[in-house]
Structure 1
Amino acid sequence: MDYSDIEKSLIEFRNKKGWQKYHNLKDLALSLNLEASEVLEIFQWKLSDAKLSEAEEQHLEEELADTLIYTFYMCEKLGVDPLTIVANKMKFNQERHWKTEK
């Protein structure tokens, strides 16, 4: 499944549920932040080198998926391809960090 298939599936799901009215950039950003907090919660009170249980890894995957879904919805609202903006940011970071290393 490529990104366009995922985006199409997400939009169809959203529209079937009637959630379009809630999918403005502000509310999507809030939801993204809440889901990212749920990722962080999995690691709360754990040592940095602690191994996650199988159940915790599964939970982490689910929360990461939620953050990606809200990110994809935001990208759809902005009319941008998430893979393109990540590639652009990587290029920017490489150029910036190579300049500072010289």
Structure 2
Amino acid sequence: MDYKDVEQGLIDFRDKKGWEKYHNLKDLAISLNLEASEVLEIFQWEPSNHELTAGERDHLEEELADTLIYTFYMCNRLGINPLDIVAKKMKFNQKRHWDKTE
């Protein structure tokens, strides 16, 4: 499945539920942050070398999916392809960090 298929599936689901009216950038950003906090909660109070159980890994995958979904909704609202902005940022980081001689 490519990004356009995922995006269309998300839009179809949103529209079927009648949620488009809630999908303004501010509310999507809040939802993205809340879901990212749920990712962090999985690791709360665990040592840095904690090995995830199968259940924790499944939970983490669900929360990562939620963060991606809200990110994709924001990108859709802005009319941008998230893969394009990641590629752009990777080029920026390469120039900023890898091209320097130290």
User: Hey, which bits of structure 1, 4+ residues long, moved more than 4 A?
Assistant: none
- 1:22-41 equivalent positions in 2, closer than 5 A: 22-41=22-41
Match of 1:69 in 2: 69
Residue number in structure 2 paired with 1:13: 13
2:59 corresponds in structure 1 to 59
Identify the residue that residue 97 of structure 1 maps to in structure 2: 97
Rounded Cα–Cα distance in structure 2 between residues aligned with 1:99 and 1:91: 11
The count of aligned residue pairs is 102
Q: Which residue of 2 aligns with 1:4?
A: 4
5+ residue gaps in structure 1? none
Q: Report the residue type matching 1:16 in the other structure.
A: K
TM, length-normalised to structure 1: 0.97
| Structure 2 unmatched ranges of 5 or more | none
Percent identity of the aligned residues?
72
